[in-house]
Every structure is written in structure tokens, then in C-alpha cells.
Amino acid sequence: MLKLRLLPWEYGVRNLFRRPARTGLTLAGLTTVVLLVFVVVAFLRGLDASLAVTGDPSTMLVYSVGAAEDIESSAVPAQLPALLSASLEGIERRYGTDYVSPELYAATRIGVDDDRPKMAVLRGVTPAAPLVRRQVQMTEGRWPQEGEVLAGRLAAAKLGCRPEALAVGNTVTLAGREFRISGRFAAGGAAYESEVWFPLADLQQGMQRQDLSLVAVGLAGEASAAEVQLFCMERVDLGIQAIEETKYYALLQSHYRPVRTLGWVVVCLVAGAGIFAGLNTMYGAVVGRGRELAALQAIGFRRRAVALSLVQEAVLLAAAASLVAALLAVALVHGAAIRFTMSAFALQVDSVTLLIGCGTGLLLGLLGAVPPAVKAMRQPVVEGLKAV
């Protein structure tokens, strides 16, 4: 009889129904905690994913020196693309086209669907853009001609409007001018997905600007990055700098580090509160049961088996809470779009999120049960049998 023989699991289940009100409250509390953990983790996963997939190692961004990592405030001369094409050897060229994408990047209000104008992130592009922005894929419609725009997959989320409002064939208004939506695009979760793309000239006119925000350059080889850097440093008169697109987004990601830290702090605090809910319930569950637990040991159940049964009880409750929270998370949280100043991204209740959330839930049950179980098992059987 070396095997540890356990109490029937009905014992654990039915004990939960012994004090239904308390159990119900704990279940609700734990569910809330686990759901909050799901939301925060889904948020962090979504944020990471949107920044991680953005950026192509063979693409460099050229923008003004004063703009730090803030491309929105960058301004470079309109003739910079031609200058780069002419001066740089290492630019990728195919079928007589240079991989040089002049872009104007702006955040402003646009009119959608007769509603109040909404804040949008706009990018003025030329047909060279998809050459350099390789993640971009048309999902619907066609490339915009003059007077037309392309809507990103998450543009509606960024705008805070219904997705149907940005259906192909609808119009948006910028500076009093109507633009027909000619197509939609996706970019594998990259940050562009929350943008609306205009023909460069149209956006320049709408924003009353003749210059550009940046030039994105596709590189032919490894050494070319250094060449672009060197060019930017030599032409002090242009006031430009160059950075690999991946580095740019890595920098952005590091800007979100406080947000991430805060997120994890929230997870820990909320989980900490959850432990107390579990502890409170399990101490309560054990307190009036001293004699019963002693009797079980007198019958021949090992101390460890009885303690395990108490833990099983709590973990069962925590598992139920995790399950409810997971269902709620998948139904309500997953895919919900979060608006940020310059982009939008979707909350991701993926397998990792589920694992972390449910893991936290079960851990809460475990941590909440172990101290009361240990306390109960410390009491000698003889004393337990005398307890009232």
C-alpha cells in the first residue's frame, strides 16, 4: 500500500456546495480576477504583436534629424527621393523601378459616414510603397487612383467607427474633398493596418504641404545600410537621418516599456487580491471541519491525502473560475480593437494568453489552499477528534 489513496473527488466537489453563497462569491471574485488578467495579457500580446511584425530589416527610413523617433513631426524636402535614387548605389532596383517610397505621414480628422470627423492616421504614398512595405497585401479592391483611398484592416478600429463604414465604394472626406475607398489592405498585424492610405499628391494637397515626412528605401544588400547612413551624415544641409525600419519599431516598442511594466504590475496586483479571496474561502472551509478531517485520518486516510483533497477543492473552484473567465475572454475580449494615438491593435486572446490567464487562476487556487490545508494538518488527530 505504497500508493497514496485519495478521498473520492465528490467529497471536494460537494464541499464547495456546503456554503453556496461563499463559494459563489469566491467564484465571481476569482472569475473577475482571471478575466482582468486575460484582458491585460491580451493587451500586452496585441501590443507586442503589432510592433513586432512591423518592420523589414532591408528597409531604411530616411527622415529629418530633429524628429527623434517621431516621424509625424518630420519634414524632408520633396526632391529627396530623386536625390537618394541618384546618389545611392545600394538601392534595390527592379524592372527600372527604384525601391524608394516617398511618404507623407499625418494624423488628422477625416469625415466618415456622415458622422462627426474622426481622428485618423493617414499616409500619402506612391505605387512604390508596396515595393518597400512588403507586408502590405491588398485584400479587396484595387490600388487607389487620384481621389481614392485604401483602408487598412484596423483603420475602422483606429477611427472608432463600424467596419462597414470603410467598405469599398464608400467615401471619406478630407479637407472638404470626398475620396472613394477603392480597396482594403492587410499587413500581417503591422502598425500600418490602422492607417488610411492616400495618393501622395492628394494628401499633400489636403494637408497643404509640399514636402514629405520620410522616404522609405529598399536596400539591395547588407553594406547598403552603411551607405545610406554615410550619405545622410555627409549631406548636413539636408538635415536628415536614416534608421533601419526594424530598429525604428524596436525603439517604439521600448517606448511602450512603461506600459508593459504597468500591465504586468496590474496582473500581479490583481492576482494578489485573488489569492486573498482564495485564502479567505479556504480558511473558512477548513475552520469548522477539524473533527471531520481528523476522523478521516482516524479511518486511515493519510495526512497528505486529506490535505490534497482540500487543495483539490480550491483548485476545482479556481478551474471553474478560469473556465468561465476564458469563455468570457474569447467571446468578449478577443479581437477587440484598442485605439492608440498613432495606431490601433487588436487584443489577442491566443494560446499564450489563455495559458497565462488559466495558469494564474489555478495558481491562485493552489496558493489559497495550501496555507489553510497545512494549518489543518498541523492539528494532531487526537485534538481534532475533540474539536467541536
Partner 1 sequence: MPLVEIRNLTKQFSKGGETITPLNEVDLTIEPRDFLSLMGPSGSGKSTLLNLLTGIDRPTSGQILVHGTDITRLSRARLADWRAANIGYIFQTHNLIPVLTAYENIELPLLLLPMTAAERRKRIAIALEAVDLTDRADHYPRQLSGGQEQRVGIARAIVANPTIVVADEPTGDLDARTAGHILQLVERLNAELGMTLFVVTHDPQAASVAARRLQLDEGRLVESEAAAPVAALDAGRRRA
7 sits near partner 1 (criterion: CB under 8 A):
yes
Pairing of strands 97-98, 93-94: antiparallel
User: What is the grid cell recorded at 103?
Assistant: 511618404
Q: Is there binding between residue 316 and partner 1 (CB under 8 A)?
A: no
Q: How far is the CB of 364 from partner 1 (least distance, A)?
A: 23
* Number of Cβ atoms within 10 Å of the Cβ of 171: 15
Q: Is 297 in the site for partner 1 (CB under 8 A)?
A: yes
Q: Which CB sits closer to partner 1, 307 or 347?
A: 307
Q: Is 69 in the site for partner 1 (CB under 8 A)?
A: no
Is 388 buried (19+), middle (13-18) or exposed (0-12) by CB count in 10 A?
exposed
Q: Fill in the amino acid letter for 89.
A: E
Kindly give, in sequence order, each residue whose CB lies less than 8 Å from that of residue 274, ignoring residues fewer than 6 positions away: 29, 30, 33, 34, 360, 361, 364, 368
Q: Where are the beta strands (DSSP E) in 187-229?
A: 195-199, 214-218
- 351, burial (CB in 10 Å: exposed 0-12, middle 13-18, buried 19+): exposed
Kindly tell me which residue out of 69, 113, 292, 350 binds partner 1, with binding defined by CB under 8 A. 292
User: What is the smallest separation between the CB atom of 315 and partner 1, expressed in angstroms?
Assistant: 17
What does the alpha-carbon distance between residue 152 and residue 216 come to, in Å, rounded to a whole number? 19
Taking the CA atoms of 29, 32, 37 and 40 in sequence, report the sign of the dihedral they define.
negative
User: What is the total count of residues that contact partner 1 (CB under 8 A)?
Assistant: 26
Q: Is 331 in the site for partner 1 (CB under 8 A)?
A: no
Query: Taking CB under 8 A as the rule, does residue 8 contact partner 1?
Result: yes
Provide the β-strand partners of residue 94.
97
Piece in contact with partner 1 (CB under 8 A), picked from 33-41, 54-62, 265-273, 300-308: 300-308
Q: Which of 302, 320, 339, 340 binds partner 1 (CB under 8 A)?
A: 302
23 near partner 1, judged by CB under 8 A: no
Q: Residue 369: how many CB atoms within 10 A of its CB? A: 29
Q: Minimum Å distance from CB 313 to partner 1?
A: 11
Q: Rule CB under 8 A: is residue 299 a binding residue for partner 1? A: yes
Q: Which amino acid is at 341?
A: T
Shortest Å distance, C-beta 285 to partner 1: 11
Between 22 and 180, name the residue whose CB sits nearer to partner 1: 22
Q: Is 380 in the site for partner 1 (CB under 8 A)?
A: yes
303 binds partner 1 (CB under 8 A): yes
298 lines the binding site for partner 1 (CB under 8 A): yes
- Footprint of partner 1 on this chain (CB under 8 A)? 1, 5, 7-8, 10-11, 14-15, 17-18, 291-292, 295-304, 380-382, 385
